[in-house]
Structures are given as structure tokens and as C-alpha cells.
């Protein structure tokens, strides 16, 4: 429930004696100046009894600005935040005095069925035994490392496959939260012995199960099991692709033109993002990651091995795995 008390949101205005050019890559995730660009007001970072938004605008010496925002994720997801920012940008440009897409309240999306019933498999909420030695422990905050990786056309070739996508239809103007987790699972041995395409096929199959029935089944599971947390033993790694969700495409214009960067300021523990980003003149994907130190080192080694592999071999491996999965 939302307490509409009319008190507004937390808003800060700041000034920096630096230009955007001087900041350079410091605006990219993991942003080392995040605490300067988004002041963490005491008591504002909770879920219950806290403002829904924390916004800071930092004016730069060059005439540009940095807009940083923290939202309450229980109320809004990426596409909803994008709708909100677009609405503010339209009004900031003086185009009109109301959002171009008026918000709607879709009550049907917010409630489980009566009686609630779980109709889909939800591996992401299963209890998983943690067989790690502690080096990958999720709770070991001091062991986590933040790094970002950029994938451009010259470094990596994307092999795409045609397939039916089960879309979840939301009403125009729904600014709220409408996302759910789903999981692709595999034993370690086939994951290690098979080519990269094996893991890609698992992810594709998992994504194909996401539809409206799946979301309602998730809502019913939360009701029946008392809102359990998703498995967080260290065996889960969450990836959020915001390149196709209306987020990160750089079309939020407050009157200064398209932003130099638009997206999450950093990754979260074991949660990463795919962010559309242009590096110089090349369009690509920026991927911030936050992993335990040893896992990050191993990931970088594997990434170098994969990217040095001839592109023909990568696609052949993808095709061979795809053929095997259809037999």
C-alpha cells in the first residue's frame, strides 16, 4: 500500500567544479563517484515508511548535468522508471504540462487468484544445498569485486536464433512493478563439458516459459509460501537485460539532447545488467558485474579464452548444440 501524504520525494541539487569530459569513464558503472552524485539521506534507503524516490541533480561546470535516481523496486521496475523519466523529460522540455502517457492502476496485476494455485515450476525459489567452501559466499561483502565489461561488434559476434516469444501484455501507462525471476538450471558436469551454446539453450528455454500464467503462478507461490526469498546460497547469478525493456536506449531527453550514459550506476551482489552503450562510435553492450574476487578472476580468464576463439568455432559450437537439443 502507498501512503499518498502529499509530501513529495527527496530531491537534492548539487554543483560540481568539473566538466563531463573531465569525469570521463567515472560516470560509467561501477561509478566510483556514486556517493557524490546521489547523497544517501539518512533513513531513506529502506522499503517500508520511506520516500518512493530519491533524486539528485548535479550541475557540471560545462553546463551539463548528472541526474541520479534511487527508486523503491517493490513499486516500480525498469520499464516503469523509464516511463516516469520520459514523462518528466517531456514536461522539462516544455512540450506539455502532463505526462504524454497517463498512469493507470491495473488492480488485476496485483493480486493472486482465489484460491491460489502454483501451476509452473519455480526453481528460483527452491532450497539449494550450499556446497561451496565459503570463498563464494554471498554474505561475505568484503570479498565482492565490481568490474564492467564492454562487448562491441569488433570483439564479439552475437549469434541470434529465431523463436516464438511469449509476451506479457501490460496496459499502456502501467508504471508499476511487473517483473519476476526465472531460473535456468544445470548440473556442473554438462555445463563444463559442453560448448557455450549449451548454456545459451538453457537460458532460451527458461525465457520461453515466461508468460502471464507464469507470473500469476509466482504470485500464488508467494501467497502460499509466505513470500519466500529466492535461493541465495551462491548458486544463483541474476542477469537483467534492460536493452529491450525501454531502458538504456538513451532516448530520455530533458532538453540537452541524448544522454552520454543512461543505466544502472553499478551491479549488485551476484546481480548484473546488460546496458546498451556506445563506446566512441561503436554500439555495444556494457555489463557491470559484482562477484566474489576468485569468481571474478576465473570469469575474466574464461572471457578472454572465449573472445580469442575464432568466431567460426563459436557459431559452429552454437549450431551443433542447437541441433542436439532438437533431436
Q: How far apart are CA 39 and CA 37, in angstroms?
A: 6
pLDDT score for 113: 79
pLDDT score for 107: 60
Angstrom CA distances, 243 to 99, 215, 222, stand at: 23, 21, 28
Looking from the CA of 45 toward its CB, the CA atoms found within 13 Å total 5
pLDDT score for 202: 92
CA 154 to chain centroid = 24
- Give me the count of residues in the chain: 327
pLDDT score for 162: 34
Angle between helices 311-326 and 196-208 in degrees, nearest 10: 50
Judged by average pLDDT, the poorest of 30-34, 108-112, 310-314, 316-320 is: 316-320
pLDDT score for 237: 80
pLDDT score for 190: 94
pLDDT score for 297: 93
Which position has the higher pLDDT, 21 or 237?
21
pLDDT of residue 326 exceeding 50, the answer is no
CB 313 within 8 A of CB 192: no
pLDDT of residue 124 exceeding 80, the answer is yes
Per-residue DSSP letter, 233: S
pLDDT category at 165 given cuts 50, 70, 90 is: very low
Catalytic status, residue 253: yes
Say which of 194, 211, 253, 279 is annotated catalytic.
Answer: 253
Q: How far apart are CA 167 and CA 172, in angstroms?
A: 14
pLDDT of residue 159 exceeding 60, the answer is no
pLDDT of residue 1 exceeding 60, the answer is yes
Which domains are delineated in the chain?
A: 1-73 (no CATH), 76-326 (3.30.559)
* Helix, coil or strand: residue 286: strand
* Helix, coil or strand: residue 75: coil
pLDDT score for 5: 84
Q: How confident is the model over 279-300, as a mean pLDDT?
A: 89
Say which of 73, 82, 194, 279 is annotated catalytic.
Answer: 73
Backbone angles phi, psi at 14, to 5 degrees: -135, 160
pLDDT of residue 325 exceeding 60, the answer is no
- Partner residues linked to 191 by β-bridges: none
pLDDT score for 160: 39
pLDDT of residue 289 exceeding 90, the answer is yes
**82-102, pLDDT tens digit by residue?**
888 988 898 888 877 788 788
**22-56, pLDDT tens digit by residue?**
999 999 999 999 999 999 999 888 888 888 899 99
- The verdict on whether omega for the bond into residue 115 sits within 30 degrees of 0, i.e. cis, is yes
- Partner residues linked to 289 by β-bridges: 147
pLDDT score for 52: 86
Q: Report the percentage of the chain scoring pLDDT > 90.
A: 28
pLDDT of residue 304 exceeding 70, the answer is yes
Q: How far apart are CA 189 and CA 129, in angstroms?
A: 17
pLDDT category at 312 given cuts 50, 70, 90 is: low
CB 245 within 8 A of CB 138: no
Query: What rounded mean pLDDT belongs to the chain?
Result: 80
Our CA angle for 68, 72, 74, nearest 5°, is 150
Q: How far apart are CA 325 and CA 327, in angstroms?
A: 6
pLDDT score for 233: 53
pLDDT score for 210: 85
Amino acid at each position: 500500500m502507498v501512503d499518498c501524504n502529499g509530501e513529495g520525494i527527496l530531491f537534492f541539487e548539487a554543483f560540481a567544479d568539473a566538466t563531463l569530459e573531465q569525469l570521463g569513464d567515472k560516470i560509467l558503472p561501477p561509478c566510483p563517484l556514486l556517493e557524490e552524485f546521489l547523497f544517501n539521506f539518512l533513513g531513506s534507503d529502506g522499503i517500508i515508511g520511506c520516500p518512493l524516490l530519491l533524486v539528485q541533480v548535479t550541475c557540471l561546470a560545462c553546463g551539463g548535468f548528472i541526474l541520479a535516481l534511487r527508486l523503491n523496486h517493490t513499486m516500480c521496475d525498469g520499464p516503469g522508471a523509464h516511463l516516469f523519466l520520459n514523462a518528466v523529460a517531456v514536461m522539462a522540455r516544455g512540450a506539455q504540462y502532463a505526462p504524454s502517457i497517463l498512469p493507470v492502476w491495473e488492480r488485476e496485476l496485483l493480486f493472486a487468484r482465489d484460491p491460489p494455485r502454483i501451476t509452473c515450476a519455480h526453481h528460483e525459489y527452491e532450497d539449494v544445498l550450499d556446497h561451496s567452501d565459503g570463498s563464494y559466499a554471498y554474505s561475505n561483502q568484503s570479498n565482492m569485486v565490481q568490474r564492467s565489461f564492454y562487448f562491441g561488434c569488433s570483439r564479439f559476434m552475437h549469434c541470434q536464433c529465431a523463436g516464438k516469444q511469449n509476451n506479457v501484455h501490460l496496459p499502456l501507462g502501467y508504471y508499476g512493478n511487473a517483473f519476476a525471476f526465472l531460473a535456468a538450471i544445470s548440473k556442473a558436469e554438462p555445463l563444463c563439458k559442453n560448448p557455450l551454446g549449451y548454456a545459451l539453450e538453457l537460458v532460451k528455454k527458461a525465457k520461453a516459459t515466461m508468460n502471464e500464467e507464469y507470473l500469476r503462478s509466482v504470485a500464488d507461490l508467494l501467497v502460499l509460501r509466505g513470500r519466500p526469498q529466492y535461493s541465495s546460497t551462491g548458486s544463483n547469478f541474476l542477469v537483467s537485460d534492460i536493452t529491450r525493456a525501454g531502458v538504456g536506449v538513451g532516448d530520455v531527453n530533458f532538453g540537452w539532447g541524448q544522454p552520454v550514459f543512461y543505466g544502472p550506476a553499478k551491479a549488485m551482489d551476484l546481480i548484473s545488467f546488460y546496458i546498451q552503450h556506445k563506446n566512441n562510435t561503436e554500439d555495444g553492450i556494457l555489463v557491470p558485474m559484482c562477484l566474489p574476487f576468485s569468481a571474478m578472476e576465473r570469469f575474466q580468464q574464461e572471457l578472454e579464452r572465449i573472445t580469442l576463439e575464432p568466431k567460426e568455432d563459436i557459431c559452429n559450437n552454437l549450431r551443433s548444440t542447437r541441433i542436439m537439443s532438437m533431436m
